[in-house]
Structure 1
Amino acid sequence: MLSWTEFLAAKGSSILSATGEHLLLSLGAVLMGTLIAVPLGILLARHQRAASVVLGISSTIQTIPSLAFFGFILPFLGIGIVPAMTVLFLYSILPILRNTYTGIREVNPAYLEAGIGMGMNRRQLLTWIQFPLAFPVIMSGIRVSTVYIISWATLSALIGAGGLGDPILAGIHTYDAKLIMAGALPAALLALLASWSLGFVERAVTPRGLRQR
C-alpha cells in the first residue's frame, strides 16, 4: 500500500485538477443563482402574492433528493458540466432568494419614511437604504448556499461532471480510503474557506453602525 507521500506524488496533479473543476462547478452555480435570486428577491418584496408562490416553488425544488434530481435531468441535458451546473444552480436559489426577500421586507419602516421625507424615490430608497441594510442578510444566504453547493457538487461526478466527487467515487469502488480522503478533505476545506471569505466580505461592506450593532 502506498504511503501518503507516495500517494500525493502520484495523484497530486489529478487532485489539484479535480479541485479546480469543483470550484468552477460550485462557484459558477452560486454566481448564477445570485444573479437571478437577488433581483428576484427584491422584486418579490414588493409583491406579496407572487412571493408566496415563487418561494413555495423554490422550497419544493430544495426538497428533491440530489441523486433523484441528477437522474431526472439526465434524459433532458445528458451528462457533463451543463446538467450538473443546472441542478446546482436550482439548488442555490432558495437560500439567496429567501434571505434577499426577508432582508428587504424587514428594513425598519422608519428609515423608509425618513428617506421619503428627504425626497427619495423608490429606486433611491432601494439603493441607499433598503439594500445596504439588507445586505448582511443577503450575504448570509449566499454563504449558506455556497457551502451547500460545494458539498453537493461532489455528487455531480455521478453524471460525468468531474470535480472532487471523482476521487471519492473511485475510492469507494476500489475500497481505497486515501482516494476517498483525497476528495472529501479538499471539499470540506473549500466549504470552510468559502464561508470564511464570504464572511470577511460581509463584514467589510456592512455599514459601520450595523457592524457594531
Structure 2
Amino acid sequence: MIIKTKAVPRPSRKFSSSTQKSQDGDEILTKELIRKYIAYSKRAIHPKLDEEARNRIVAFYVDTRKKGGEYSDSVSITARSLEAVARMAEASARIRLSEVANIDDVERAIRLTRTWRNELMGENFDMTTIESGRKASARNHERMLIDTIRDLESRSSEKIKYANRIDIYNEMQNHGVDRGKVDDMIEKMVRDGTLMLPKGYDTIQTLR
C-alpha cells in the first residue's frame, strides 16, 4: 500500500518493510531494524581477541610509547588507552556478529584512535595534559620555578631558607619566562600549598 503525496511517494508506516529503497535504488535499513540488530549483537555476541589481534595491540602500544612526548613527563599513551583499543576492536567484531575480534578489527580500532588523537592534539599527543588539564609546557615551567627557588634557598645565608622574588625573576628570565608568568605561578602554588611567603610578598619558600 502506497500513500501518495505531492512531494516524494512514501510507504505507509503500517506496511513498511525492514528495508527501503533510496532514489538510486539502493536498499536502506530502517531505524527499527538497526535498533534490533544492535540490541541482538549486544545481547548475544561477546567477541574475544585472537592471538594475532592481541599482539598487534601490544605492538601499537609499545611503538607509540617509544615515541614519547615533547617534555620529560609527557606520556603518549597509557594502559587505559590500550584497553580502549581492545574494546573498539571487540565492538567492530560485534557489528559483524563475530565471536572473534581479528587483526582487521584491531587495525580499524587503531585507525580510529590515531584519528581522534591527531585531531585533538596533533603529533605531540600527551595523555598527561588530558588527565591533569595542564599543558606540558606549563608543567615544565612550574618544575623550573620550583628548582630555581630551591637552588636559591640552598644559597641563602638566612636561618630560615627562602628565595627573594627579584632573584627568581632574574633566574626565570634566563629561561624565557617573564615576570607576569612567574607571579601567576607563584600565586597558584601558594594557594595549593606548594609555596609560602615567609616574610611577605618578596620572599618565597618551598613547602614540598
Question: TM-score, structure 2 length as denominator?
Answer: 0.28
**Which protein has the larger Cα radius of gyration, Structure 1 or Structure 2?**
2
Higher helix share: 1
Higher strand share: 2
